[in-house]
Amino acid sequence: MAKIYFLCTGNSCRSQMAEGFAHQLLPADWEVASAGVEVHGVNPLAVQVMAEVGIDIRQQTSKLIDPEYLAQCAVVVTLCGDARDRCPVTPPTVTRLHWPLPDPAQAPGSPAEKIPVFRQVRDQIQAQIVALAKTLK
């Protein structure tokens, strides 16, 4: 079974949403995981905007990058410059992709004012996962 790893700074928003979409959209023979260079906990706004599109990520947890898992991956996707820059070295057999997306948790304003930013990032991630899924079939 091939493995894919989605990485961002705190494994709270972008990589969690990517993991949720990947479970739904990637071929069934792919093992999907996400992690961060830090652990910030899953952001409730990420849970909310994913629920809007029918994907439940409430049971996902925020995790640190596991170097052993990383080395076993076929594909590693970094979702921000921080994760790309701080990601441990991978074997040459690992395909590394970089999708530089803004951190919706850093958007200014109240939670209600942040929701549109979360939706925009969610939709960008979904489009990337759909495109990636076509290459993995």
In sequence order, what DSSP letters do the residues of 49-74 get, joined into one string? HHHHTT---TT----B--HHHHHH-S
pLDDT of 137 over the 70 cut: no
Domains of the chain, first to last: 2-136 (3.40.50.2300)
Distance of CA 18 to CAs 76, 110, 125, Å?
A: 12, 24, 6
Q: Per-residue confidence at 59, pLDDT binned at 50, 70, 90?
A: very high
pLDDT category at 117 given cuts 50, 70, 90 is very high
Catalytic residues: 8, 80, 87
- Cβ-based neighbour number of residue 48 at 10 Å: 15
Q: What is the pLDDT of residues 61-114, one digit of tens each?
A: 999 999 999 999 999 999 987 777 777 778 888 999 999 999 999 999 999 999
Residue 1: is its pLDDT beyond 90?
A: no
Please give the share of the chain, as a percent, with pLDDT higher than 90: 83
